[in-house]
Structure 1
Amino acid sequence: MTSKEMADLTEKRHDSVKRTIDTLAEKGVISYPQVVDGEKSANGVVEKLYRIGKRDSYIIVAQLSPEFTARLVDRWQELEADAADPMKALNDPAKLRHVLLGYTEKVLALESRVDALTPKAEALDRLETASDGSFCLNDAAKALQVPPRKFTARLQQMGWIYRRPMGSTWLAYQDRLKMGVMEHKVVTGEKSDGTEWVSTQARVTAKGMARLALLIGGEQVDSCTQPKAGKQAAATGG
């Protein structure tokens, strides 16, 4: 309820009501009210109103004119009834304007948020769909601007990759392979003695890169913990 409505209910001057509100607020009896714009006068001056809550309005009216407290109670009941039935606003231009302004502000806020998130979403979409290939761990770290060692430690912490006992290569957990965020690639080469070596390489898919861009892209990962022994044992056990 506004201070203007309270002045009308108690048949007091609006400036007098505002002074009473200021005095009570300074004494800590009520909360400091919110200041809102009222109607514009003929000479173009916008009157400043106080917006008062239910509890404080009872205190203010009791201070101004105890005999009119019943009017205040009736008015609050009307306001609460209107709030319970939004269709009543359609018959009141002032209330309808207030409701529409409220929705307009919400829409503008949502549009602003969408505008801020759209470039990021488009970038992630391009990352996920531009290529059907995959990235080795070093290349993935560079693309996400995370130091390679910290990147692998973070993946290990999150349960994406692991090493077998005495193993030197990283492998992807089975659930990450099923999710399509990691894959294994068999790499071969020739040793100095002419024999062939075979290695399984864990690689991050384009889908995985999009996921990691949201999870750890650009974050500080200075303190990465190792996965628990139980999980490591379970992983190495197949």
Structure 2
Amino acid sequence: MPILPQFGNPEQKTMGTREIANLCEKEHRNVKRDCNVMFASLNLDALKFEHIYFDSMNRQQTEYLLDEELTMTLVTGYSIVLRNRVIKRWKELEQQPDLSNPVQLRGLLLGYVEKNIQLTTENQTLTKAIENITATENGVKFQQACKILNVKQADLAKWLRDKGWDRYINKSRASTHYSQERGYCETKFEEVDGVKPSGEPYNYTKIEFFILPKGMAVLAKHFGGEA
């Protein structure tokens, strides 16, 4: 139950006796009785604090709306535990915005708009960065990707392994079926002829691992903070 404005004044916060009864685990009628004793002791008119509400059977009932001072005065006679519970609840409710207050409502709306403008700008910047990163048609090698993304090789290597994007063939990084099928990475194999120091010719398979534009877009979003 929120703190309510008292007597039409949006700046005057109050707590209802139903809320107090719930927090203090007391019957509402008993809390109202305690209020009447307090009003009498302070020479206050109870009618000024009455508030009409309808119960679960749609019957008209009354409760009292108390400001912070009267709320604390009322619960002073209760146990320390119950008094502390009311104090904590009051502070929680005070932090909630009052949507009936034009000043607070305007502040909330302005904050919401400013936040959305900021997020839109950040998203546009990230989108532009992704476009630049994925401008290449052939993809980039692992070391190039690290530089473009401004990420450590160990971090990118771990991410690729955890996501199942790469594997090793003859100690060379290569794409997996998973990453190839989705267009994230590819591996190029090239037969290379060489000559040993002894002059003997030999042949080997050169393995090159590439991260494709689609894969770079995923990585840019992840290391850019979106995932």
- TM-score category (smaller protein): 0.5 to 0.7
Instruction: Using the TM superposition, give the Cα deviation of residue 155 of structure 1 relative to its aligned residue in structure 2, in angstroms.
Output: 1.4
- Is the CA contact (8 Å cut-off) linking 2:126 and 2:221 kept in structure 1? no
Instruction: State the distance in 2 between where 1:72 and 1:133 align.
Output: 73
Please give the secondary structure, in 1, of the residue aligned with 2:201: coil
Does 2:12 align with 1:50? Answer: yes
Q: 1:231 corresponds to which residue?
A: none
Instruction: State the distance in 1 between where 2:151 and 2:130 align.
Output: 17
Q: 1:73 corresponds to which residue?
A: 53
Instruction: State the distance in 2 between where 1:113 and 1:150 align.
Output: 26
Instruction: Using the TM superposition, give the Cα deviation of residue 110 of structure 1 relative to its aligned residue in structure 2, in angstroms.
Output: 1.5
Q: 1:106 corresponds to which residue?
A: 112
2:173 to 170, 175, 180: 170
Instruction: State the distance in 2 between where 1:125 and 1:71 align.
Output: 61
- Is the CA contact (8 Å cut-off) linking 1:145 and 1:217 kept in structure 2? no
Richer in strand (by share): 2
**Per the alignment, do residues 51 and 68 of structure 1 end up closer, same or farther by CA in structure 2, a change over 3 Å counting?**
closer
Q: 1:155 corresponds to which residue?
A: 160
Q: 1:209 corresponds to which residue?
A: 216
Question: Partner amino acid for 2:162?
Answer: Q
**Per the alignment, do residues 53 and 204 of structure 1 end up closer, same or farther by CA in structure 2, a change over 3 Å counting?**
farther
Instruction: State the distance in 1 between where 2:206 and 2:136 align.
Output: 24
Q: 2:184 corresponds to which residue?
A: 181
What is the TM-score with the length of structure 2 in the denominator?
Answer: 0.53
Q: 1:118 corresponds to which residue?
A: 124
Instruction: Using the TM superposition, give the Cα deviation of residue 67 of structure 1 relative to its aligned residue in structure 2, in angstroms.
Output: 3.6
Please give the secondary structure, in 1, of the residue aligned with 2:164: coil
Instruction: State the distance in 1 between where 2:111 and 2:168 align.
Output: 53
Instruction: Using the TM superposition, give the Cα deviation of residue 72 of structure 1 relative to its aligned residue in structure 2, in angstroms.
Output: 4.2
Uncovered stretches (5+) of structure 1, i.e. residues with no partner: 7-37, 39-48, 78-94, 219-238
Instruction: Using the TM superposition, give the Cα deviation of residue 161 of structure 1 relative to its aligned residue in structure 2, in angstroms.
Output: 0.7
Instruction: State the distance in 2 between where 1:106 and 1:181 align.
Output: 37
The count of aligned residue pairs is: 156
The worse-fitting range, judged by mean Cα deviation, of 201-210 and 106-115 is 106-115
- Is the CA contact (8 Å cut-off) linking 1:189 and 1:197 kept in structure 2? yes
Instruction: State the distance in 1 between where 2:184 and 2:206 align.
Output: 20
- Is the CA contact (8 Å cut-off) linking 1:146 and 1:217 kept in structure 2? no
**Per the alignment, do residues 158 and 107 of structure 1 end up closer, same or farther by CA in structure 2, a change over 3 Å counting?**
same
Structure 1: 4+ residue segments shifted above 6 A = 58-62, 97-100
Richer in helix (by share): 1
Please give the secondary structure, in 2, of the residue aligned with 1:212: helix
- Is the CA contact (8 Å cut-off) linking 2:133 and 2:148 kept in structure 1? no
Please give the secondary structure, in 2, of the residue aligned with 1:2: strand
- Is the CA contact (8 Å cut-off) linking 1:169 and 1:200 kept in structure 2? yes
Instruction: State the distance in 2 between where 1:213 and 1:163 align.
Output: 24
Q: 2:206 corresponds to which residue?
A: 199
Q: 1:137 corresponds to which residue?
A: 142
Uncovered stretches (5+) of structure 2, i.e. residues with no partner: 21-27, 59-99
Instruction: Using the TM superposition, give the Cα deviation of residue 100 of structure 1 relative to its aligned residue in structure 2, in angstroms.
Output: 7.9
- Is the CA contact (8 Å cut-off) linking 2:166 and 2:175 kept in structure 1? yes
1:5 to 5, 8, 18: 8
Instruction: Using the TM superposition, give the Cα deviation of residue 189 of structure 1 relative to its aligned residue in structure 2, in angstroms.
Output: 2.5
Instruction: State the distance in 2 between where 1:126 and 1:152 align.
Output: 22
